[in-house]
Each structure stands twice: as structure tokens, then as C-alpha cells.
A = this chain, B = another copy of it.
Amino acid sequence: MEIVKYPDRKDWKALTERATLDVTTLFDTVRGVLDDVRTQGDTALRKYEKLFDKVDLKELRVTPEEIQEAHALVPDELKQAILQAKQNIAAFHASQRFEGHKVQTAPGVTCWQKAVPIEKVGLYIPGGTAPLFSTVLMLAVPARIAGCREIVLCTPPNPEGKVHPAILYAADVAGVDCICKVGGSQAIAAMAYGTESVPKVYKIFGPGNQYVTAAKQWVSLREVAIDMPAGPSEVEVIADGNAHPEFIAADFLSQAEHGVDSQALLLTTEENIVPPVVEAIQKQLEALPRRDITEKALAHSRIIVLKDWAEVIDFTNLYAPEHLIIQTDNYQTLAEQVQNAGSIFMGPYTPESAGDYASGTNHTLPTNGYAHAYSGVNLDSFIKKMTFQEITPDGIAHLGDTIRTMAAHEHLDAHRNAVSVRLESLGKK
């Protein structure tokens, strides 16, 4: 963990560097898999599941019996938690519903937008030791609220050919239509192109390793939309002298445990809090099971002391953190000045883990500085806004010359003519 005091502005850029991987270098690796799945469908999926997930699958789709079994296997305490989280996520995302209204932009010219769900969406949920049922909720609950007609979920099975019951339970209660036992870049290909077992979708969501990310990027160039480019997770904590060192340390570590590439930054104007925070981090770290991962992530994490709040805000807007936790007396004022961040956690009793699981906000957020231009996943991610317009005969008579003049100066005569034939039919020139 690096501690930097009062850095010059010219050195700030270097302090915002993340550990990222250029997945474009993996395109050649994943394209073989993508092409195989596109041309050979389920046969290729079975081949790659055998190769990468060490499992020989007859049936690629999860059966209703397996879902019933999962309901019986998930402990009641976890079921209750999942249902509570689902309810809060649903409440927040339902509040984001878009209602367009008609606007008369000129006499007789009416324009409006309408939100229409993306018909078919695909969710990717990684495998590994931890079952990411929370991500199932974060993607499937808004998809259902948006009105997507078909929600497909792909996730790698374990070597016994099973999917973790908590993932199946969350997918079932969130309303996923079709769960397929496919992982890695072959899962992305399956949802992008469609196979006998896996329906083709129009947009793919969800986290994954570097091969999954490369495959998502590649298919997004032609076949499908994706949620956003992905990178390692990160948090920035802003704290003042009154912040609780234990809380800061806990938030720091809860980011660092995600993976060796994760990054945590602490920005403060008060150098006195640095020693107690460092001490609290050391103490809490000792009790953590994922200590190895966490220590590696701390190696490229930083505590940065700046001279005033204006510098803190400027640095934050430069870094554009995925998660931003503000634990200062003036947290409301500071939060209002942030221009670039994925999700902001305000005040001492708002840990990032609340938003990761259960407060209702989405945890799929822009990393790697993408918060400069991207929103996190929200209800908009599952819809598109179509525009409509209706023009009356009087409207085209009024607006016609404006259109014809512009078309003529862009040398687009047929565009001009499309107005002229209408004006002529109305007895105008």
C-alpha cells in the first residue's frame, strides 16, 4: 500500500493508474472458440465444456427438476435474504420506468419517445468457488421489470454437471426463462449467435474473466450489444478527521478481496487519520480468509493526502471511481460536486456492500475510468427509446421550406423531393 502526501497535480494522472489488461490481445485466442460455436452450435459447446470445465454434458439446459432441487437445497436464511434483496432491487429499478410525453416542436409537428424492452437478453454468471447469485438478481430483476420477453442465463457447471443451487434459486425467483450450463467465451458465442439449446439474444450482460471479456468485446463489434467494457473492481474512500478508521479499513478490504487486480484508494485532507487507518487495515486483514488475494490487491492500493476538498473533488473526477464512499461531515456537499463516479455511498453507515447486495442500486458499474462516459447498469440498459413523429398537412406546409433548403444545400435532391411531392398534393409549390 502506497502512501502519498500532497502530490503535485502533474503527478495525479500516474496516481489514477489501474492494473488493467488489454483484452484485444486475446482476440485471436477467443475467435477460434467463437467461430466453432457459430458454425457447430451445441456440438462445439459440448466440446469446450469438456475441455475447459471438465464435464461431459448431455443436456445443456437446466431442467425444471434441477430448479426444484435447488429450492430444497438453499438454506432458509439465504432464501429470505435473496427475497429481501430482490424486493429492494425491484423497488429501485421500477422507479426508473420511463414515460415519454408528446412534444409539439413546431405547429403541426409532434415528436415523442417510447421505451420498448429489448426482446431477448443474455446474462453471463461466472463460475468458480463463490456462487454469484447477487449478480443474477442485479441483471435478471431489472430485465424482468423492463419487460424483456426472454431472459437467458449462461453459467459454467461444476465437474458433476451441476449449477450451484443459490444461482438456480435466484434465477428462478428473478424470472429467468432459460438457464444453460455453458461457461467462458463459448457461452458468450452461444448467446451472440444462438445454438440448438441456447437462444440468440440481442444484448449480453455480466462479468467474467479475461476470455469472457474479450469474447464480449469481439461480438459487440457486430452481432450484439453488451452492457459495458469490463475491468477490475475498484473503490475510492473519501474521509475526514472524524471518520471511523475501522469503517475505512473495512471498506478498503471489502474492495481488495475481490481479486488481485482490485484497487482501493483513500483520499483525505487529514494526515492524522493515516496511521490509525493503516493499523486497522493490518488488524482486520489478519482475520480474513481471502488474505492472499487481498494483500496482492493492497499492493497497488493507495492512501493519498491532499491539501483541501477542492483537490479531493478534482482528483476524484479525474479518477472516476466505480464505487465512491464519502465518510466526512460535509458528505452531502462533496457528493454534489462529483461528476464522474459509478455509484456513491454517502455517510458513515453506507458501506459499499449494501449496494453490492441489497440496498436496491445496481452493482454492475463502470470500472477503469469508464465512469467518465458510462452509466452503471440500470433500467435503461434493458430498453431502447424509439422516436415517433407525426406531421399534419399544415405542419409540413409550415416546415417544408426549412427541410427543402437544408436538403438542397446538402445536395440531397430526393430528400427535398419527398417534401415537394407532399406540398404539391396539398396545392402548394
Contact surface of A with B, Cβ cutoff 8 Å:
22-24, 77-78, 80-82, 84-85, 88, 91-92, 95-96, 101, 103, 105-106, 109, 111, 113, 116-119, 129-134, 166, 202-203, 217, 220-222, 224-225, 229, 244, 246-247, 250-251, 253-254, 256-258, 284, 287-290, 294, 317, 335, 338-362, 366, 370-376, 378, 380, 384-393, 395-396, 399, 401-403, 405-407, 409-422, 425
Contact = CB atoms under 8 A, between A and B. Distances in A.
Contact of A222 (B24, B251, B413): B24
A202 B318 CA distance: 12
B254 A414 contact: yes
A192 B273 CA distance: 39
Contacts of A348: 422
A68 to B, nearest CB: 20
A326 to B, nearest CB: 10
Nearest to A393: B349
Nearest to A348: B422
A117 B84 CA distance: 33
Contacts of A109: 88, 354, 359-360
A414 B297 CA distance: 13
9 contacts: A78-B406, A92-B111, A202-B372, A290-B412, A343-B389, A348-B422, A353-B416, A354-B391, A366-B384
A166 to B, nearest CB: 6
Contacts of A345: 389
Contact of A96 (B113, B258, B362, B396): B113
B344 A417 contact: no
B113 A359 contact: no
Given A349-B422, A373-B384, A358 B406 contact: yes
Given A361-B387, A387-B376, A352 B418 contact: yes
A343 B84 contact: no
Contacts of A392: 349
A82 B406 CA distance: 7
B389 A354 contact: yes
A317 B202 CA distance: 13
Given A250-B417, A413-B257, A390 B339 contact: no
A106 B88 CA distance: 7
A394 to B, nearest CB: 9
A253 B420 CA distance: 13
Contacts of A217: 221
Contact of A410 (B132, B388, B420): B132
A247 B387 CA distance: 21
A254 B384 contact: no
Contacts of A415: 254, 257, 352-353, 356-357
A317 B24 CA distance: 33
A85 to B, nearest CB: 6
A69 B393 CA distance: 38
A378 B385 CA distance: 9
Contacts of A388: 335, 343-344, 346
A251 B387 contact: no
A19 B81 CA distance: 51
Given A22-B222, A380-B385, A357 B250 contact: no
Contact of A129 (B117, B374, B411): B411
